[in-house]
Structure 1
């Protein structure tokens, strides 16, 4: 009985030879396996193709030698799969469209075509003239908004406020306000030109966010996106801060109002995250996000280990410096010192003054260097693997055209 083995099917023939239509480079290793009992592969073989051959010939994994496991299962298979899943975002193929968001139906009406073009321009801004113009205008407005925000906090670019409200008992603001920063914002205001620029740029960015919400087909995902939520809250915070600053609405001595102003200032500062919009559509930024996502376990482990060693070294340092009343007044301060030392920041506000404390500081610094080196190396390795896979995939697509 003779057989023709082709693909994944076998057909018997009454006469003829035994013909195998499989990979000839791997087949002689299959014969070696049946004669010797172990399966080996050369290093220059594609691991995905080798795994298909192993599955076809039903070779058990226990018979695969340890030296070949790296070839079969650790040659960036996972990275290749992730890059292939991100092809729609990475824009590897020039003729690729945004059909996953629209389905297979063709868009025939004018509004649908406009929506399609806008969404394609947003997802792939560097491939269309509409996307390039949109990205340029958005970048210009974002940079202007951030620059105006920075200038409004500098004393050189603010003017004295006119028409300050009178205080009771003939007191002045500098007599009842000890905080010089708060006194500066109360007695000065922003220039009219900068107020107009901030209002226009912030309005444009909010309108851009509204347009993105209208054209997207994943509205729930858009609303739940942390970046979009922060952009929206930041835009509202800018309007509120402008209103308070222009009309001098300050409640002196109100602790809740002071906390509200701090929160408002923090949300205004978050407008800098709009810079991510300028680079998030590039392949390198997407690969960086993917690398960070795949390295989150290592960062969580770093945080846990760093916290544990900070408690250890901080506690030891507190007791080592117990006889010195000028250093580390509490164990919480010594833990703060341990964190700053292990992260190689070293503010110098607290430091040991005894030989025992010096020894603890040396050990803490060495441990900090070792702990920080490991997750950074893992992140760099993940980024390098994903980026190399992306380059190989892009080259393969270009050569296959």
Structure 2
């Protein structure tokens, strides 16, 4: 019995002959986390519920957890008894980490250049023989500022400057679309039969044809666009995952936005030499789409926040429900659209074809209700009532699921934050 050590956890006694358990308990005694009593017992003020599983691990077996244990309690005990996470089998992983937390961790791992990955990848630059390399330290500082903008002063300044530049770019774009903030275009050529332009173009298109942006706003747009392109180029230079950076959809859109801004400016300046009455309508549409791309940059301001990650994860987890909503909405819009078309067959002024009635079904079920088409017969009223009520019930289900997922992930995030701060 000399080789057997007696352990007391809040009145529950355990016996073990494992030398690893003895060494670990004596380490706890030296750290004042355990007490040696007069009878030789080692008293540890910990919950005894899972200590049998702790002994299984230290006695050379595997570590397993009961299903009916609280994940938070299990995590605390595992941390106290110094059990490495890598030794926890996959069958017990769901006991420690519920589905929401594991998926929140998964989406963090999907984000490019996580903080842990970044530190590991640049540690040779910062702590190795090149520790005094200014370029390495600068790269590390910029990576920290980019990945965690609210944790350093450099990041806060960086994100504030980008926010100011992005907002200025968007405001300039909005002003350029208003006739009151544009100036008459000089040198507008008079073409033979120029009335054809007035006939083929509407008032909004004529504004862009006859006027141009103010020089100050044009210069401001070029400057802001250049700064934002410089920002995306700097992020590409400092990142260690360049292929992943290039394939990122957000980055692709930002690069396309930067190129489009220069193209729009060039087209606007050289519009007179490009005028062609046959293709002018399509030209304005293309230019308008290119200009509108810049609003995508606004997403960059919030993508680093945990709330945005939670929203992305909630949408990702709810994709099946939204796909089901799309399928069911399409099916019932066909049903209600077909029904109201035949109900209104004797009304010559409503629903000229079944495609319009399907459009009405979608608008009615989504509670938009433009009012451009509406029933006039008793049968049409009945179909409209059923479609509207069914649409309310149909939309409520995926929205509720999305809100529930967001709430679960947000609670998980708050726990993780408290857990990290407690360390």
TM-score range, shorter chain: 0.7 to 0.9
Deviation readout 1:112-135 (Å, 9 max, x if unpaired): 221111111011111111111111
- Structure 2 residue 166 is the aligned partner of structure 1 residue 142: yes
Provide the C-alpha distance between the structure 2 equivalents of 1:178 and 1:84, rounded to a whole number of angstroms: 53
Give the corresponding residue for 2:16. Answer: 4
Give the corresponding residue for 1:98. Answer: 118
Cα gap change, 1:6 to 1:363, in 2 (>3 Å): farther
1:161 is aligned, of 179, 185, 195, to 185
Give the corresponding residue for 1:266. Answer: 289
Cα gap change, 1:195 to 1:271, in 2 (>3 Å): same
Counterparts in 2 of 1:2-401, with a 5 A limit?
A: 4=16, 24-25=48-49, 77-85=98-106, 98-102=118-122, 106=126, 108=131, 109-169=133-193, 171-172=194-195, 175-249=198-272, 250-255=274-279, 258-400=281-423
Cα gap change, 1:368 to 1:81, in 2 (>3 Å): same
Which range is displaced more, 78-87 or 217-226? Answer: 78-87
Provide the C-alpha distance between the structure 1 equivalents of 2:155 and 2:255, rounded to a whole number of angstroms: 22
Deviation readout 1:337-385 (Å, 9 max, x if unpaired): 1111111111111111111111111111111111111111111111111
Give the corresponding residue for 2:41. Answer: none
For the Cα contact (< 8 Å) 1:195–1:242, is it kept in 2?
yes
Cα gap change, 1:228 to 1:73, in 2 (>3 Å): closer
Cα gap change, 1:153 to 1:126, in 2 (>3 Å): same
Q: For structure 1, which runs of at least 5 residues remain unmatched after alignment?
A: 10-20, 29-39, 53-60, 62-71
Provide the C-alpha distance between the structure 2 equivalents of 1:7 and 1:355, rounded to a whole number of angstroms: 87
Deviation, structure 1 residue 166? 2.3
Deviation, structure 1 residue 335? 0.7
TM value normalised by structure 2: 0.75
SS in 1 for 2:271: coil
Deviation, structure 1 residue 48? 5.5
Deviation, structure 1 residue 172? 4.7
Cα gap change, 1:8 to 1:268, in 2 (>3 Å): farther
SS in 2 for 1:167: coil
Deviation, structure 1 residue 258? 3.2
Which range is displaced more, 284-293 or 258-267? Answer: 258-267
SS in 2 for 1:325: coil
Provide the C-alpha distance between the structure 2 equivalents of 1:233 and 1:27, rounded to a whole number of angstroms: 58
For the Cα contact (< 8 Å) 1:302–1:375, is it kept in 2?
yes
Deviation, structure 1 residue 98? 3.1
Cα gap change, 1:327 to 1:128, in 2 (>3 Å): same
Cα gap change, 1:103 to 1:86, in 2 (>3 Å): farther
Provide the C-alpha distance between the structure 2 equivalents of 1:199 and 1:49, rounded to a whole number of angstroms: 54
Count, aligned residues: 358
Deviation, structure 1 residue 233? 1.2
Which range is displaced more, 270-279 or 190-199? Answer: 270-279
Q: For structure 2, which runs of at least 5 residues remain unmatched after alignment?
A: 5-14, 22-43, 53-65, 79-90
Deviation readout 1:213-245 (Å, 9 max, x if unpaired): 111111111111111111111121111111121
RMSD across aligned positions (CA): 3.5
For the Cα contact (< 8 Å) 1:88–1:98, is it kept in 2?
no
Cα gap change, 1:230 to 1:97, in 2 (>3 Å): closer
Deviation readout 1:260-288 (Å, 9 max, x if unpaired): 43133123212112111111111111111
Provide the C-alpha distance between the structure 1 equivalents of 2:246 and 2:364, rounded to a whole number of angstroms: 40
Which range is displaced more, 340-349 or 243-252? Answer: 243-252
